Structure 1
Amino acid sequence: MSEPITDARTFIVADDDHGIRLDRWFRRHLPEASFNIVSRWARTGQLRVDGKRVAPGDHIEAGQTIRVPPLEAPAPAAAKARAKPERPPLSAEDEEFVQSLVIHKDRAAIVIDKPPGLATQGGTKTERHLDGLLDGVRFEAEGRPKLVHRLDKDTSGVILLARSSGAAAHFAKAFSSRTARKLYWALVTGVPSIDDGMIELPIAKQPGTGGEKMHVDEKEGSPARTRYRVIERAGNAAAWVELQPYTGRTHQLRVHMAAIGHPIVGDGKYGGQDAFLTGGISRKLHLHARRLRIDHPDGSKLDVSAEPPRHFVESMAMLGFDRALGDALPFDEPKFSETAEGKRKAVTQAAKARRKERKGERRSRGARD
């Protein structure tokens, strides 16, 4: 029997855990801590995220620090009762379905074109999800592929899967250091007055929503940056835009576009009635992860694109958008100053400059004395 853990531990939230609920993080990484134990820790203030009290249902973000209190060794019977159940085998229909979503496969990676309406991971009242179908895309590998990032349930498009732990660590580092580039297409209501703009508005959980909704919060929010470029206009009614998130906050693109007065078509959660168009335009969310470019473990670039879903294509046709214009804009490489390494170097250089400046001031005072 294992010895009880007597000291508190700290964990850093990985990029592939970004946006999930805290209780789901425990199920993934510390299944020996039951929901009742986690709830008790939360009630008594022993469980902390970035030093703050949290609830099991709160959503966590990449880079946050989770403090986990000591865990007593469970009784053998209780430990056996909490053993992780085996996943039931997939049906032939589910296996065929998930394999039909594959748009790229190599030794390290699989890329899925996720349809709208399919959740990335399970949760309350969500039994069917992509994570539960991954046994169907093992192919010749022994282990099931691992999710590296996620998309909202109603967002379609590119999702990257790693085929080994080493590949997962490599891709997670690329996402967390911001060297990976993600490009989305969206239809928005109205037309932004600036064709190529950067939205820099901090985002936080909206109080009273249980962490299920985000909002712009200038005082308590986490920094968030989104670049948008207008591809084409439909008069003054709507625009087809390209979006590039420079940070990875929950619902970032949806919050940012609604905040500048141009909610994504179909996004009633953040745009209300202003997010819907008349004339037979679908009421589904029009947000599509079009393209992903990321460093591959073999030293090459993995660059994959996914075609938009039917409702998106039909809405484009009804609004008169020219599909050929979609990939005409250049897909910029991230500037070194925008990457984690670049930011660390900038901080180091600034600190050196301040030390040099203070050293010069001391010498000047000595000379005067």
Structure 2
Amino acid sequence: MYSDTFSKNIFMILPGFEAQRIDNFLHNKLKGVPRSMIYRILRTGVVRINKKRIKPWYKLQIGDEIYVPLIRTMRSKDANISHKTALVTALKNSIIYEDEYILGLNKPSGIAVHGGSGLQYGVIEALRSLRPVTEFLELVHRLDRDTSGVLLLAKKRSSLRMLHEQLRENSMEKNYLALVQGRWPIHVQIVDVPLLKTIQFNHHSMVRVHQDGKPSQTLFQIKENYAHIATLVQASLITGRMHQIRAHALHIGHPIILDNRYGNSDLSKHFKGIGLQRIFLHAATLSFIHPHTKQITLLSAPLDKQLNNCLKSLRFSTTPIK
């Protein structure tokens, strides 16, 4: 069962909505329209601002009048409604902090932060459904689909600008918990090697250590050893490159357990046998300056049941992996 949705929109940019890119603005306003379709109508020039064609990266100004023509989208009613309802319920129970300026979430593993690549709904789409009267709701940063933990969203344009400035200045403190293969060397407390983005894993992006890459630094602290099987480490980001912790752990020779891109598949059978079904990487804490109170704010996300059970099993295990 499919239904067609048609919409014709004219938007006027008011104070508070300026300086954002037109593609992001339309993605927020045109509910249910895939991001790929938004890019397509921008590239073809059918979206007009002040009766003129614009580029997808055009930044809005106060007083801009945006004309968007008829848009036709196709939706599978039953499947989409069922998936969206389950996702909204899961995220409703995962909110760890909220006020009128920001929202903090303990994102479950397996949920993408936004729709795309075959996914109708992600975190941002589900939360917008959960908060229909909230005029503005945008991701401050991202987490990989299989990574769990603290995810921060802004509920005001001004909050997003302030938080993005902290990201650019590397003044946010992000701490992750990762279970890595083997015994992490005590002397390795910082990994400082450049990372270069490439396309190679099933046409997906990866990074690798390369002299032409961007400067990347991660602090590592041992939290718990499990014989010679694995080590629980805290990884603190100094820079925020894509897959930085995963690539740096691999570089040291201790990849993250069940990392399907940078890990060691030989260990998968053992850890799946004790109930671990996904990468052991969790965004444990996020510290930042609150955009309104200007006070240091710390958001913490506890490990989920699967990760906790994995650690309990390791604590009672005395048989090393051969």
TM-score, L = length of structure 1: 0.63
What is the alpha-carbon root mean square deviation over aligned residues? Answer: 3.5
2:118 to 125, 130, 154: 125
State the distance in 2 between where 1:211 and 1:246 align: 28
Where does residue 364 of structure 1 map in the other structure? Answer: none
Matched, 1:186 2:178: yes
Matched-pair identity in %: 26
State the distance in 1 between where 2:87 and 2:248 align: 35
Contact 1:94 1:136 in 2 (8 A): no
Gap regions ≥5 residues in structure 2: 1-9, 11-18, 25-33, 46-54, 60-66, 317-322
Task: Output the amino acid matched with 2:120.
Answer: E
1:127 shift after superposition: 2.1
1:201 shift after superposition: 1.6
Task: Output the amino acid matched with 2:239.
Answer: T
State the distance in 1 between where 2:134 and 2:87 align: 19
Contact 1:98 1:136 in 2 (8 A): no
Name the CA shift for 1:238/1:208 in 2 (closer, same or farther; >3 Å).
closer
Q: Name the structure with the higher helix share.
A: 1
2:280 to 270, 277, 286: 286
1:313 to 292, 295, 308: 308
Name the CA shift for 1:26/1:97 in 2 (closer, same or farther; >3 Å).
closer
Name the CA shift for 1:206/1:131 in 2 (closer, same or farther; >3 Å).
same
Matched, 1:215 2:207: yes
State the distance in 2 between where 1:173 and 1:27 align: 29
State the distance in 2 between where 1:204 and 1:268 align: 19
1:25 shift after superposition: 8.2
The runs of 4+ residues in structure 1 deviating greater than 6 Å are 24-28, 83-86, 88-91
Contact 1:264 1:275 in 2 (8 A): no
Task: Output the amino acid matched with 1:125.
Answer: G
Where does residue 145 of structure 1 map in the other structure? Answer: 137
In the TM superposition, 1:254-273 aligns within 5 A as: 254-273=246-265
Contact 1:200 1:223 in 2 (8 A): yes
Q: Name the structure with the higher strand share.
A: 2
State the distance in 2 between where 1:188 and 1:263 align: 5
Name the CA shift for 1:94/1:190 in 2 (closer, same or farther; >3 Å).
closer
Question: Which one has the largest radius of gyration?
Answer: 1
1:80 to 69, 81, 85: 69
1:100 shift after superposition: 1.1
Name the CA shift for 1:273/1:146 in 2 (closer, same or farther; >3 Å).
same
Contact 1:225 1:245 in 2 (8 A): yes
1:12 shift after superposition: 11
